[in-house]
Each structure stands twice: as C-alpha cells, then as structure tokens.
Amino acid sequence: MRIGIFGTGGMADALGTQWARAGHELLVSGRDRAKADALAKQFGARSGTWREAADFGEAILLALPADRVPDVLAEAGPLAGKVLVDCTNQPGPTGTEPPPGTPVAARIAALKPEAHVVKAFNLAPTEVWRMTPPVFGGRPLSVPLCGDDPGALEAVRTLVRDIGATPVDGGGLGRAALLEATAAFVIGLWFRGVDAQAVLAPV
C-alpha cells in the first residue's frame, strides 16, 4: 500500500518503521523538512510537502497534535477516497481534563467528507507500536478500529496485521468518541501515577 505519513515524531517513526519493514511504500511529510528527510531516509522512502504526501498515499497517517490536524488537512488539499488513519489523542495539558468539545475523528470527517476516516492506534504508546510483534503473555495486541467505509476499514485491518497485531471491529466512526475518551481516561490515570493496566483486569 502507498502510505503518506503526516508528522515526524514518535508515532510516525514507530508505525512508519513497521510499515516500511512490511513492504509498504511511504512518503513522509512534516512542518520541518529536515526532520521529514531524516525519517524518510530511515524508512528508505522520500519526503515531500503535505500535498505531495496526500496525493501519494492511498492511506494517510495523521501523526500530529489533534488541534493541528485541521490546518494541515487544509494545506493537503482534496483527499477524495483517501483513508485517513486518525491515531490522535487530545488528553489536555495535565491529562486529567475531560476531552474537549467535538471528538477529533468527527472534526476530521466534517472537514474532509470526501475522505474515509478510521480511528485506530490511539490506545497504546509508541513503545508498544515499536514491538515486533506487540504480543503480551502470548496474546497479540488487539487494535480497535472505528470507521464507516468498508474498504477503508479493510485497508487499516491490513496495516494492523502488518505490525503483528489483531484488528478488532470497534463500530462506526460515531464510536471513535469512545476510543478518544478511553485514551483520555487511561492517560489521565497514568499522569497521576496509577497502574492503568490493572484497571482492565485480564478476565
């Protein structure tokens, strides 16, 4: 698959490394072209503008701060038929605030109705996305996906399987708000030093 990577930070690096290893073609874009060049080199790929990465990718990973996504999408131009993989979280400055306003996935879908948004990869930290494979006590990590378009969901299922994890149907994009709230809640626990893993007992 051709994947445009928006962002050059931890999530772009972790997931991009896995997908490059799995044989996908990547094009990296970031606000700092030197960082995009360096990351692209690491993937054996090339870098480009937001628009070039958007044109290139059948899927586009939005590995950006949630509140920066709208501006970047505006610069990326029309995204007809593209799969927008939304891994963003917006936990707030201390991690204990309620998630602000409209869920990020819904905002993205409203801004780019011509594209297909799939919420995924927001529930685990970069350390997990770097694992080869992400398996815990013999159980592969399950990755819930929320989206409305069957083709886009199938594409993201492939991207999940390609990192050695198991895709899980999380329902339609309307349920992405629950994934965002779950992440915000767990990150809030973690900020307060709570053992968040112990909250969800492995029954």
Ligand X SMILES: NC(=O)c1ccc[n+]([C@@H]2O[C@H](COP(=O)([O-])OP(=O)(O)OC[C@H]3O[C@@H](n4cnc5c(N)ncnc54)[C@H](OP(=O)(O)O)[C@@H]3O)[C@@H](O)[C@H]2O)c1
Task: Give the binding site for ligand X (CB under 6 A).
Answer: 7-12, 30-32, 35, 63-66, 68, 72, 87-89, 122, 125-126
Q: State the nearest-atom distance from the C-beta of 137 to ligand X, in Å.
A: 21
* Spatial separation of the C-alpha atoms in residues 174 and 170, rounded to whole Å: 10
Nearer to ligand X, 64 or 153 (CB): 64
Nearer to ligand X, 88 or 115 (CB): 88
The number of CA neighbours under 13 Å toward the Cβ of 135 is 8
* Spatial separation of the C-alpha atoms in residues 44 and 136, rounded to whole Å: 30
Nearer to ligand X, 57 or 138 (CB): 57
Q: State the nearest-atom distance from the C-beta of 103 to ligand X, in Å.
A: 13
- What number of other Cβ atoms are within 10 A of residue 16's Cβ? 25
Nearer to ligand X, 136 or 151 (CB): 136
Q: State the nearest-atom distance from the C-beta of 141 to ligand X, in Å.
A: 13
- What number of other Cβ atoms are within 10 A of residue 79's Cβ? 21
Q: State the nearest-atom distance from the C-beta of 108 to ligand X, in Å.
A: 11
Nearer to ligand X, 17 or 88 (CB): 88
Contact 152, 60 (CB under 8 A): no
Ramachandran sector of residue 152 (left: φ over 0; alpha: ψ -120 to 50; beta: rest) = alpha
Task: Find the residue with minimal CB distance to ligand X.
Answer: 9
Q: State the nearest-atom distance from the C-beta of 165 to ligand X, in Å.
A: 13
Distances (CA, A) of 7 to 70, 105, 188, 194: 13, 17, 24, 30
